[in-house]
Amino acid sequence: MASRPLRSEALEATYRRLFPAQAGNEVTTDLLGSDTIVPVIDMTPSAEGTQLATPLQQALDFTSNSQIFGNTTVTLQSNSGFYLVRVNCFIDPSIAGVLGTIFIDDGISQTAVYTPGTTPGTGAALTEYLNPSPFVVFLRPGDTLKGGTTDPSMVFSVVSRQIADLYGNLTNPLGFQFQ
């Protein structure tokens, strides 16, 4: 078995980033490479098959919250954690100035996470449908996910499901168990 120093600034920088020195002590030795084959066993949940693929883990289930609303503000989710949100928006563009928003409210301020904007009031009275890509929101303790529109001519259909808790532990669909 022969060990040789590895002289690569890129490898050394990656090593320093991934393995920071303890108590401020810098690693002063060279990285060494060996011609000995060392098997590596991946023991992560995804390697052993105990973690669902993302699309399966994010499946809607009986815990999903589904709400349809227009001309009102509703609470969509109020527990902390990560939520997958799917939105459909139905708009009558002939009425001007209608605003709809999905937002996070912390009790003091609000931040929009989705809005189709205000209606222009120039179109015919034909309903337009918007179907944005699903998105994930994070609610801290005390945060609430809400949605609202300012007129019944804009209606949201929102489905949301918690996909991970406050600490990032994934939440599998209700009733799912690995064999």
CATH class of the domain at 54-164: mainly beta
Total residue count of the chain as it appears in this document:
179
Whole-angstrom distance, CA of residue 157 vs CA of residue 90: 8
Per-residue confidence of the chain (179 residues) as pLDDT tens digits? 566 776 777 777 777 777 766 555 565 666 667 667 777 776 666 565 567 888 888 999 999 999 999 999 999 999 999 999 999 999 988 888 889 999 999 999 999 999 998 877 777 777 888 899 999 999 999 999 999 999 999 999 999 999 999 999 999 999 988 77
What pLDDT shows up at residue 2? 66
The ranges assigned to domains in the chain are: 3-38, 54-164
Q: From 123, 121, 75, 57, select the one nearest 95 (Cα to Cα).
A: 121
Instruction: Give the SS3 label for residue 96.
Output: strand
What pLDDT shows up at residue 55? 86
Instruction: Give the SS3 label for residue 147.
Output: strand
What pLDDT shows up at residue 124? 73
User: Residues with Cβ < 8 Å from 44, sequence gap 6 or more?
Assistant: 51
pTM exceeding 0.75 = no
What pLDDT shows up at residue 119? 79
Alpha-carbon distances, residue 41 vs 38, 44, 52 (angstroms):
10, 9, 20
Instruction: Give the SS3 label for residue 138.
Output: strand
Rounded to 5 degrees, φ, ψ at 93 are -75, -5
Whole-angstrom distance, CA of residue 116 vs CA of residue 84: 18
Question: What DSSP element (H or E) covers 28?
Answer: none
